[in-house]
Structure 1
Amino acid sequence: MAAIIGNNELISSRVFDFPRERVFETWTNPDQLERWWGPNGFSNTFHEFDLRPGGTWRLTMHGPDGNDYPNHNVFEEIVPLERIVLRHLSGHEFQITATFEELDNRTRVTFRQLFMDPADFEQSKKMCAEANEQNLDRINALLAGSPQ
């Protein structure tokens, strides 16, 4: 389950039974990322994916309720096999930092979501905590070869 830190940050962590290179690829290969990004029932259409510091990632998340959710993100930092930092700029503004720790052919991913506005965090924290855990579940299913 996600930990709530202070008045504006969620942290989720998961150990995957896959090597760090493979887990990191689920975050950096747009074909794979498109398959797991978002909570259960969501699908994605990527419009732009420029994986470099300052690069833009624009996508539309398609909800199970039939609604579309345009998203605009900017990559702030990419450290191969170690860390990805991106800023979510549409709707509630937050920063995501994903770290990848090698553990003897397994990988611990720590997913930190830092909201810029504590009021946005208060409004979103329960939904985001559940959604982040679902994202980690979906990554594991992708790695294990299960249909999404």
Structure 2
Amino acid sequence: MNSMGSERSKQNETANREIVVSRVIDAPRELVFEAFTEARHLAQWWGPKGFTTTTRAFEFRVGGVWDFVMHGPDRTDYQEWIQWTEIVPSERITMLHGEHRDDPNAFESVLTFETDGSATRVEMLAMFPTEELRDEAIEKHGAVEAGQQTLGNLAAYAAELVRKGAEG
């Protein structure tokens, strides 16, 4: 099997465990990428509408951890834990995302950043250990809509940074 066929076969094997959300954001790729690299930025936009984030620990480097709590609009707290597994500046971030270190249900996320004219196309791919965990994320937690809202929040935040930069 050629490498193209092998890659397609691999994608077919994992498609039932994936969620993919993307958006074009009207800001330069470096700025959009930077919004993911510092807790002060993430606190301004991370999560779906109505959520806020409190960071307990943050070290953006391969092997580093972001330990945080997302506070829902209904005042429910969601413990979250991310470990960065790959960082390619301005291009890609790969991470393991769960509720805590050693979470058996943690999933891998790959964020890609592509220049699209003067804008940036961001894609968030989440790969769950099982199809059942993916389905639960969609049905119980509204993962697709939450991902779209999160990228919407990022778009609004990036637009504000661009506006402030133009004023400055």
TM-score for both structures, normalised by structure 2: 0.79
Larger Rg: 2
Alpha-carbon RMSD across the aligned residues, in angstroms, is 1.6
The residue correspondences of 1:26-41 to structure 2 (distance < 5 A) are 26-41=35-50
Match of 1:128 in 2: 143
The residue correspondences of 1:83-122 to structure 2 (distance < 5 A) are 83-90=92-99, 92-122=105-135
Deviation at 1:95, TM superposition (A): 1.1
Structure with greater helix share of residues: 2
Partner Cα separation in structure 2 for residue 49 and residue 41 of structure 1: 22
Deviation per CA, 1:115-139: give whole Å up to 9, x if none: 1122111111241000000011000
1:75 equivalent among 84, 102, 121: 84
**Which sections of structure 2, spanning at least 5 residues, go unmatched?**
1-13, 162-168
Deviation at 1:102, TM superposition (A): 1.2
Percent identity (aligned): 39
2:64 counterpart of 1:51: no
Structure with greater strand share of residues: 1
Match of 2:159 in 1: 144
* Structure 1, 117-126 or 134-143: larger mean CA deviation: 117-126
1:61 equivalent among 65, 70, 85: 70
Which runs of structure 1 show a deviation greater than 3 angstroms over 4 or more consecutive aligned residues? none
TM-score for both structures, normalised by structure 1: 0.90
